[in-house]
Amino acid sequence: MKGFSVRKKLEEIKKQGRKAFIPYIMAGDPDLEDTLRRIKMLTDAGADIIELGVPFSDPLADGPTIQKASDRALNAGVTLRKILKFLQEFKEEIQTPVILMSYLNPVFCYGIEKFFNDASSARISGVIFPDLTVEESRIYMFYAKKYSIDTVFLVAPTSTPERIKKIARSSTGFIYYVSITGITGSELILDKAFKEHIDYVKSFGKPVCVGFGVSKPKEAAYVSQFADGVIVGSAIVKMFHEKPEEAYEFIKSLREAIK
């Protein structure tokens, strides 16, 4: 059985008049058993799609909160191979589409086609490679299509119209709009230019989901007015680590804020 389709899920949500809530957690932080519990909690709290991070020692885009989560997972011995095996084992218990966010090095070492084959077997719905440019994505796009896995590429506020067009063409799941020119967990600046640029990206006909910097319900509510989905990462990772007893209510408040 194939995994869920990210694009179809977003189309379904749109038909319902809703906006997608996409929380992020780090796989293996603090271990894979807790990861399964957290995936189920996110689903219960209203997650539409779950972004699952693969720990990596040298991240480019992650801020300190996610870097620390990655370090905890790596120290626990978690690897891409173990994550895929874990997802394969528990795929019947996971009822929400999962997008795997990984830097290229672990995937390259794993073997590109083997990765997509195993990801498909584990019902991975989509992939995000933050250090993969569209110009270098041909082989990844080929295997993603072969194994029915959606691709998600990132657009920044500084992306040119020509580049946005290329990214829109290559993104089969949605376009990930990086709301800040910085790292995850940075402060989000909500202004007229921000909204206008997202409207422009949406004009290319692909769903646009906004992440990086969204950490509070009021920010999620604002972004959901014009994005197709809202991605929240660092704030959730931090809550699970520092105040796990409050995590469910916090996640629920984000879901309720996203109209």
| Integer-rounded Cα radius of gyration of the chain | 17
Task: Please state the domain extents for the chain.
Answer: 6-257
Active-site annotation holds for 51 = yes
Per-residue pLDDT for the chain (259 aa), expressed as one digit of tens each?
A: 456 799 999 999 999 999 999 999 999 999 999 999 999 999 999 999 999 999 999 877 678 899 999 999 999 999 999 999 999 999 999 999 999 999 999 999 999 999 999 999 999 999 999 999 999 999 999 999 999 999 999 999 889 999 999 999 999 999 999 986 544 444 555 667 888 899 999 999 999 999 988 999 999 999 999 999 999 999 999 999 999 999 999 999 999 999 7
CATH of 6-257, one of 3.20.20.70, 3.40.50.1820, 3.90.1660.10, 3.40.50.1110: 3.20.20.70
Q: What is the pLDDT of residue 143?
A: 98
Q: What is the pLDDT of residue 58?
A: 86
Could you tell me which residues come within 8 angstroms of residue 204 by beta carbon, excluding any fewer than 6 positions away? 164, 165, 168, 175
Q: What is the pLDDT of residue 3?
A: 61
Which residue in the list 29, 48, 51, 150 is annotated as catalytic? 51
Active-site annotation holds for 113 = no
Which residue in the list 31, 34, 58, 62 is annotated as catalytic? 62
**8 A C-beta contact, residue 250 and residue 238:** no
